[in-house]
C-alpha cells in the first residue's frame, strides 16, 4: 500500500513539475530584469526544481500529509551577489515585487560564538496582478523559495555541503576550531571587500572632484604624473562622458594603451578641451543611422579623442579602421 501511495504521489509530482519549471524560469528572468534596473550587479541568478526522489524522501522523512502545501522549496531560486550591502537592496526588491509568505536571515539564528550557514531565505508567491500575463497564468498557487547570499557565503555553503555536515553537532571536536577559523575568515573577507568597494568609490569621486576643480580654477595638473589606472581613468570618463554607456573591460584595455603611449589624465583633459566638439561632430557625420546619431560608449569616445590628439596612437590603432581616413580630416 505504501508503495502504491508513493507511486501515485510521484506521478502527481511529475505532472506538476512542468509548472514549477515554468515558475522558476520566469522568476529568474524577472529577478534579472529587476536587479539590472536597480543597478545591482550579481554573479548569478538561477533556479532548480527538486528532483522526484528528493521530493519523496522529504515527504517520508517529515511525514507530510499535504506535501504540495507543506514543501515550500520545490522551486528554489538562488541569487548570488558580490557585496553584503547589495543583499539589503535585493531583499527590498523581493519584498516589493512578490507576495512574501515567510522571510528569514539564517545568520540571525547563529549565536555570537557559532559558525555556520549564512543566507537570506524567502518563501514567495506571484502577486495577483502578474497572474493575468501569459508567463504567470496558472501559477498563482505555487510557492518558491528565494535564497540571497554573497559569493563568499555561497562558497561556505557549497563546501559545507560537500563535506556533508548538516549541523554543528555532526562535526568532530578536532575540526570545530578549523571550521570556526574559516567561517570567521570568510565573514571578514566579505566585510573587507565591502570596505574596498567603498574606498574605490571614494577614490573615483575625489579624483573626479580634482579634475573638475582644476578645470574650474584653471589649475595646471600637468605636474601630476600619476600613472593611469582603471579608477582614475574611470573618474575621467565619468567626468566628461557621464551620459555614455560604460564598459569596464574596455577601460582596462585602454589603461594599458595609455600607459604604453605615456598619456596621463592631465593630458587627456587637455585633449578633451580641444576636441570635445569635434567628437560630437564625428559622431553626427560618421555614426548616424537614418536621422538617429549612434553615440559611442565612454571608451569609444575616448578612442576617437586619442586618434584626434595623438599621432602615434592614430598611426598604430586598429580601432575604427573603416573611418580612419575620415577621422584624419578632423585632426588639428
pLDDT value at position 235?
93
Which triple of cell numbers denotes residue 149?
547570499
Residue 265: pLDDT over 50? yes
For 40-54, what is each residue's pLDDT tens digit?
A: 999 999 999 999 888
Residue 194: pLDDT over 80? yes
Residue 2: pLDDT over 60? no
Say which residue, 308 or 164, is predicted with more confidence: 308
**Single residue among 144, 165, 191 that ends a domain in this structure:** 191
pLDDT value at position 211?
85
Which triple of cell numbers denotes residue 265?
589624465
What is the number of structural domains in the chain? 2
Residue 110: pLDDT over 60? no
Its pTM stands at: 0.77
- The DSSP bridge pattern shows strands 288-289 and 292-293 to be antiparallel
Q: Same domain for 236 and 285?
A: yes
Instruction: Identify the helix (H) or strand (E) that includes residue 309.
Output: helix 298-309
Q: Same domain for 89 and 165?
A: yes
Kindly indicate the confidence band of residue 114, based on its pLDDT and cuts at 50, 70 and 90: very low
Q: Same domain for 46 and 143?
A: yes
pLDDT value at position 1?
37
Contact 22, 28 (CB under 8 A): no
Q: Same domain for 153 and 237?
A: no
Residue 179: pLDDT over 70? yes
pLDDT value at position 116?
47
Q: Same domain for 162 and 258?
A: no
Nearest C-alpha neighbor of 308 from the set 285, 284, 286, 276: 276
Contact 110, 179 (CB under 8 A): no
Say which residue, 222 or 111, is predicted with more confidence: 222
Q: Same domain for 37 and 140?
A: yes
Largest CA distance in the chain: 90
Q: Indicate whether 281 belongs to any domain.
A: yes
Q: Indicate whether 114 belongs to any domain.
A: yes
Mean pLDDT of 245-257: 90
Say which residue, 191 or 111, is predicted with more confidence: 191
pLDDT value at position 3?
47
Residues 196, 183: Cα–Cα separation, whole Å: 20
pLDDT value at position 158?
75
Q: Same domain for 79 and 140?
A: yes
Residue 215: pLDDT over 80? no
CATH number at residue 60: 3.30.460.10
Mean pLDDT of 265-278: 92
Contact 91, 148 (CB under 8 A): yes
Q: Indicate whether 216 belongs to any domain.
A: no
pLDDT value at position 219?
67
Residue 109: pLDDT over 90? no
Q: Indicate whether 147 belongs to any domain.
A: yes
Expressed as residue numbers, the domain containing 46 is 2-191
**Single residue among 168, 191, 214 that ends a domain in this structure:** 191
Q: Same domain for 167 and 27?
A: yes
Residue 131: pLDDT over 70? yes
Say which residue, 45 or 290, is predicted with more confidence: 45
Amino acid at each position: 500500500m505504501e508503495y502504491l501511495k508513493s507511486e501515485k504521489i510521484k506521478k502527481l509530482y511529475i505532472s506538476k513539475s512542468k509548472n514549477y519549471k515554468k515558475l522558476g524560469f520566469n522568476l529568474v528572468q524577472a529577478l534579472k530584469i529587476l536587479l539590472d534596473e536597480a543597478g545591482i550587479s550579481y554573479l548569478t541568478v538561477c533556479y532548480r526544481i527538486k528532483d522526484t526522489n528528493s521530493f519523496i524522501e522529504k515527504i517520508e522523512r517529515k511525514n507530510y500529509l499535504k506535501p504540495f502545501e507543506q514543501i515550500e522549496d520545490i522551486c528554489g531560486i538562488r541569487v548570488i551577489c558580490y557585496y553584503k550591502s547589495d543583499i539589503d537592496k535585493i531583499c527590498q526588491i523581493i519584498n516589493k515585487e512578490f507576495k512574501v509568505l515567510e522571510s528569514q536571515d539564517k545568520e540571525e539564528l547563529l549565536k555570537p560564538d557559532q559558525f555556520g550557514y549564512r543566507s537570506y531565505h524567502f518563501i514567495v508567491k506571484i502577486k495577483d496582478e502578474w497572474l493575468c500575463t501569459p508567463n504567470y497564468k496558472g501559477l498563482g498557487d505555487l510557492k518558491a523559495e528565494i535564497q540571497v547570499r554573497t559569493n563568499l557565503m555561497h562558497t561556505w555553503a557549497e563546501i559545507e555541503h560537500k563535506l556533508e555536515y548538516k549541523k554543528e553537532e555532526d562535526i568532530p571536536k578536532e575540526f570545530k576550531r578549523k571550521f570556526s577559523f574559516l567561517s570567521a575568515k570568510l565573514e571578514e573577507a566579505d566585510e573587507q571587500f565591502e570596505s574596498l568597494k567603498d574606498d574605490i568609490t571614494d577614490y573615483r569621486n575625489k579624483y573626479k572632484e580634482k579634475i573638475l576643480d582644476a578645470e574650474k580654477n584653471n589649475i595646471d595638473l600637468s605636474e601630476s604624473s600619476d600613472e593611469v589606472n582603471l579608477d582614475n581613468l574611470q573618474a575621467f570618463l565619468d567626468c566628461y562622458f557621464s551620459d555614455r554607456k560604460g564598459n569596464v573591460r574596455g577601460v582596462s584595455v585602454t589603461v594599458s594603451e595609455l600607459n604604453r603611449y605615456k598619456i596621463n589624465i592631465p593630458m587627456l583633459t587637455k585633449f578633451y578641451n580641444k576636441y570635445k566638439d569635434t567628437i560630437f561632430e564625428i559622431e553626427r557625420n560618421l555614426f548616424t543611422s537614418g536621422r538617429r546619431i549612434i553615440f559611442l560608449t565612454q571608451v569609444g569616445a575616448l578612442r576617437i579623442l586619442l586618434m584626434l590628439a595623438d599621432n602615434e596612437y592614430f598611426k598604430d590603432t586598429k580601432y575604427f579602421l573603416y573611418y580612419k581616413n575620415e577621422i584624419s580630416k578632423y585632426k588639428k
